[in-house]
Amino acid sequence: MTLYSHPGKPLIKHLEEVAQSCLSFFQNNRQVFANTELKETLKNLAFICGAFHDIGKGTKFFQHYLLSPDHEQIGPKNHALVSALFVKELAKAYLKSTSLSDFEKALFAHFVFTGVKRHHGKLKNFVDEFDITSKSDELQEQLISFQEAEVQEILTHFAIQLPVKYSLQNFKEYIISKSYEKDMLDFYMDEFTWGDYENVPSETKISYFYAHQLLYSCLLFADKTDVILQENQQEKALLEENLVQRFRKEKEFETARTELDGKKNQAYCEAIDNLQEVFSPYQHIYSLTLPTGLGKTITSFAVALEMKKLLDAPDTKLIVAIPFTSIIDQNFDVYKQIINSENTNLLLKHHHLAEPSYKINEDVFDPDKSQFLIETWQAQVVVTTFVQLIDSIFSNDKSKLLKIPNLVNSIIILDEVQTIPYHYWQLLKSVFEFLGETFNCYFIFMSATQPLIFNPEKVIVGRKEIQEIIPAYKDYFKFFNRTKLVNRTNTELTIDAFNEEVFSYINDNPTKDILVIINTKKQCLYCFEELVRMIETDKTEIYYLSTLITPFERKNIIKRIKEKKSGKQQVIISTQLIEAGVDLSVDTVFRTLAPIDAIIQAAGRANRYNEKGILGGTIFLYQIKEIARATSLIYGSDLIQKTKNVLKQVKEIDECNYLQLIESYFKEVKTQSDNYHSKELEFLTNLQFEDLGNFSLIEETKSESVFIQLNQEAVTAWEKFISIYSNESLDIREKRTAFSKIKAVFYDYVVNVPIPYGLKSILFDSEQCFGFYISYSNNPSQYYQYDEDDYTRNIGYKEVGAYVL
């Protein structure tokens, strides 16, 4: 009788393909855990996991369930635990032949146990995996239902490839005697909790953690690849050489039409030239520091491609991680122009709203294959978010961990790296150093406001903690003098007094475009409504931007601002969202107090292209009484205090000296970071996979979603959404697949409204439908204001009436 792993797939064939895939990963990635016996050990353990991860499917219970028309259960069909115990015992037999310590032999045997046990679920904390006494009866049942002849055939098949002998009879005796109950407890008590693990150095514990994650993710990746792609695995494509040089020539970037163009070219050439001097295969952490407006996007991409040449590794993957989806789309368009291809195996975009379609030439893959190829980053260049990258490094979720094999040997650009909260610096520093040295990853930290996650002055064994690619970057900051910062935070104003100052400035400067950035949505809206009341709108266009208006409206407003067709003065009242990669330029910015890096980001929206000449832009900085507490909650009182410390003696400062503020500020922040106790790093070193899996780079707030039918496109998207989720013939996976095709358009009309403190829900005048409140086109909600023509009425969601607790 032939045993099957999946319908139509012989079990022995599936195990062989997964085992060979696991083996190939380590054979093809020689730099991973390089020059250590551990590398050879991991390779053999990965092969053992792949070869026997589904051996528990060789029972009559599972085979009956799989092959019967209605998937009838006649006994325990779960196969992961019995397979995990078999793999653990086989691994123990193999590990005896290695020179690892007795503790490491026991540790790695239990690593493969948890990996196989959880290859269909999420990892739990390591110590929570060992108590399986409640499963004893089930294990005994499964043991006597093994199709022994067929299972023995599988063991015989792999025997010649294994560095150790282990028989089915050995395993049967192990299960019948229930020896696993004692040896699990002994390891838990004597080795892990109160034994040798306590005395292991932190760096070694990090190594153990990622050895486990690599074994686990390799098994997951190989297993899913065999099931989903089957025989249709794609050959890897390679990028053409000199892509950026060709692109720059086509765009005539090499011909400097302005002094700014000349500086961009100088920075680009200096980065490429300096890389030849400072690059070393042993130096894994780099920085690229340049002020806003000097073309970091293109320059960093060229630097990464040059690194590939220096490494002589044309297959090296480039991963560009960006903090905000709003920046991803515009940067992706630049990379697309450079690569000049629609093929997803060359250039891939991955975030929660990206189109889930994978195509090569004219071939578009089916939804399951597309989703798998996209979510496992199977492309030469991947453009994604910080959340996708960093969550996968710390996750216990198998769907996220599938990416890890494709992180190996990659070059990772972290754009706007200063947005990473300082309380994660220690954690990321430790992990990035490990991923660099052991996974052979190379990191490029890119920013105009470079944080001190790594110390550029510190040298370790002949290399720097972080190597700047443009050593003379300070000269570029001195070149720019587009703006000046005027500090008015010594006196705290009320919001009404602030509004009066803004209004007076608007009246006194009718030819200047003005941006006002306020930290809270409530006071931002209040400022907008007050200015609308005061301003003569026949002379001035005034716009409101916040996340309480739909992305569709925000895009239209930003487009309208940039086009400036009317020639009128423009006034923009916005929350901080406008600092996230919104490419526009005004004369004057009014900014409420925020951390220094946010202030510098705001300054980058004034005289951005030096079109108004030297010091043609002004940034006024204010403290507002009504939002002082909220500001501390949003940014952290510690960062606000450090900003005040840095600004204490500053009344006015020109842009050419902004770098002094940035460096002083991040020195203070580094002190705070160094004294911060990272519970996440503690979870990692204690192998608390589930606790660490709760890691979130972005702090979630409780909110509810509202769908706004602004136009016919929105109405159509809603109707399709309802059609999909009310279709009872589709299962949940099919519904999600169908929805993914309209998701990007659908979410253009969604706002997420925070639930006010003390309430269970937001206020709205419709019932929820499939998790959304709806403002209908033929019956608009009183809680959402929109006018296609009058932008002074476009304020989005606004509470009406009093709260009812």
Q: For 198-215, write each residue's pLDDT tens digit.
A: 889 999 999 999 999 999
What confidence tier does 352 reach under pLDDT thresholds 50, 70, 90? confident
pLDDT in tens, 568-619: 999 999 999 998 777 899 999 999 999 999 999 999 999 988 899 999 999 9
User: pLDDT-derived band of residue 235, with 50, 70 and 90 as boundaries?
Assistant: low
- Whether residue 627 contacts residue 518, with contact meaning beta carbons closer than 8 Å, is answered with yes
| Sequence-ordered list of residues with C-beta below 8 angstroms from that of 366, at least 6 positions apart, any chain | none
Return the pLDDT at 460.
Answer: 85
Tokens coding 9: 């797939």
Q: Which amino acid is at 621?
A: L
Q: How confident is the model at residue 232 (pLDDT cuts 50, 70, 90)?
A: low
Confidence band of 634 (pLDDT split at 50, 70, 90): very high
pLDDT for residue 801: 60
Q: What is the pLDDT confidence band of residue 37, given thresholds at 50, 70 and 90?
A: confident
Q: By the 8 A CB rule, do 318 and 411 touch?
A: yes
* CA nearest neighbour of 154 among 167, 138, 170, 171: 167
Residue-by-residue DSSP string for 287-319: EEE--TTS-HHHHHHHHHHHHHHHHT-TT--EE
CA–CA distance, 350 with 344 (Å, rounded to integer): 11
Q: What is the mean pLDDT of residues 762-789?
A: 95
Higher pLDDT, 492 or 293: 492
What does the radius of gyration of the chain's CA atoms come to, in whole angstroms? 29
Contacts of 671 (CB under 8 A, 6+ apart): none
- Name the residue type at position 194: W
Identify the pLDDT of residue 805. 28
What is the structure's pLDDT at 233?
62
Tell me the mean pLDDT in the region 616-632: 97
Tell me what percent of the residues of the chain surpass a pLDDT of 90.
83
- Classified as helix, coil or strand, 4 is strand
**Distance of alpha carbon 463 from alpha carbon 687, whole angstroms:** 30
Q: E-strand spans in 205-356?
A: 285-289, 318-322, 347-350
pTM for the full predicted model: 0.94
State the Cα–Cα distance between residues 785 and 793, nearest whole angstrom.
Answer: 6
Q: Are 315 and 238 in contact (CB under 8 A)?
A: yes
Angle at 126 between CA 121 and CA 131, to 5 degrees: 85
Residue with tokens 């602030």: 498
Q: What is the pLDDT of residue 189?
A: 87
First to last CA, the chain: 66
Note the pLDDT tens digit of each residue in 19-31.
999 999 999 987 8
Other C-beta atoms lying within 10 Å of the C-beta of residue 60: 16
DSSP assignment string, 736-800: HHHHHTTHHHHGGGEEEEEPPTT-SS---SS--BTTEEEEBTTB--TTEE--SS-GGG--EE---
pLDDT of residue 473: 96
- Per the CB < 8 A criterion, the answer to whether 308 and 411 are in contact is yes
Alpha-carbon separation of residue 590 from 254, 583, 604, 617 (angstroms): 36, 17, 12, 11
Measure the CA–CA gap between 268 and 256, rounded to whole angstroms: 13
Q: Is the pLDDT of residue 190 over 90?
A: no
Q: How many residues does the chain have?
A: 805
- Residues forming beta bridges with residue 360, ordered by sequence position: 363
Q: Which two tokens stand for residue 118?
A: 């959880």
pLDDT at 250 over 70: yes
The mean-pLDDT minimum among 61-70, 110-119, 323-332 falls in 323-332
pLDDT at position 234 is 63
- Average pLDDT in the chain: 93
Give the integer Cα–Cα distance in Å for 154 and 362: 40
Cα dihedral 353, 354, 356, 362 in deg (nearest 10): 150
Q: What is the distance between the alpha carbons of residues 154 and 748, in angstroms, rounded to a whole number?
A: 53
Question: How confident is the model over 777-783, as a mean pLDDT?
Answer: 96
Closest-CA residue to 562 (of 587, 544, 586, 546) = 586
Render pLDDT for 361-380 as a digit per residue (tens, 0 to 9): 988 898 889 999 999 999 99
Return the structure tokens found at 549: 């208006």
Q: What are phi and psi of 436, to 5 degrees?
A: -65, -50
Mean pLDDT of 727-748: 93
User: Is the distance from CB of 600 to CB of 653 less than 8 angstroms?
Assistant: no
Mean pLDDT (whole number) for 783-792: 94
Contacts of range 661-669, beta carbons closer than 8 Å, 24 or more positions apart: 661/596, 661/600, 662/449, 662/450, 662/596, 662/597, 662/600, 665/595, 665/596, 665/597, 666/449, 666/450, 666/451, 666/452, 667/452, 668/642, 669/422, 669/451, 669/452, 669/639, 669/642
Tokens encoding 444: 């490029």
- Angle separating helix axes 637-647 and 658-674, nearest 10 degrees: 140
Q: What is the distance between the alpha carbons of residues 130 and 188, in angstroms, rounded to a whole number?
A: 7
Helices (H), 518-618: 521-534, 551-563, 596-603
**Hunting for tokens 């050489």 — which residue is that?**
241
Q: Is there a contact between 607 and 482 (Cβ–Cβ < 8 Å)?
A: yes
**pLDDT for residue 701:** 84
* 3-class secondary structure, 678: coil
- Work out the number of other CB atoms within 10 angstroms of the CB of residue 653: 17
Distance CA 801, CA 721 (A): 31
How many other CB atoms are there within 10 angstroms of residue 268's CB atom?
23
pLDDT at 146 over 60: yes
Q: Kindly state the tokens that stand for 708.
A: 């706004």
Q: Which residues make Cβ contacts (< 8 Å) with residue 641, sequence separation at least 6?
A: none
Place of tokens 């907008």: 528
- The C-alpha atoms of residue 100 and residue 103 are separated, in whole angstroms, by 8
Q: Using N-to-C axis directions, what is the helix angle for 386-394 and 425-439, rounded to 10°? A: 80
At 538-562, the pLDDT tens digits run: 899 999 999 999 999 999 999 999 9
The Cα 191–Cα 388 span in angstroms is 35
Helix (H) or strand (E) holding 583, with range, is none
pLDDT at residue 803 is higher than 60: no
Q: What is the mean pLDDT of residues 237-242?
A: 90
Q: What are the tens digits of pLDDT across the range 57-90?
A: 999 999 999 999 999 999 999 999 999 999 999 9
Give the per-residue pLDDT at 804: 32
Give me the mean pLDDT over the 524-532 stretch. Answer: 96
Tokens 């932008």 found at: 791
Closest by CA to 322, choosing from 397, 260, 386, is 386
Rounded distance between C-alpha atoms, residue 519 and residue 602, angstroms: 12
What integer is the mean pLDDT of 228-249?
A: 85
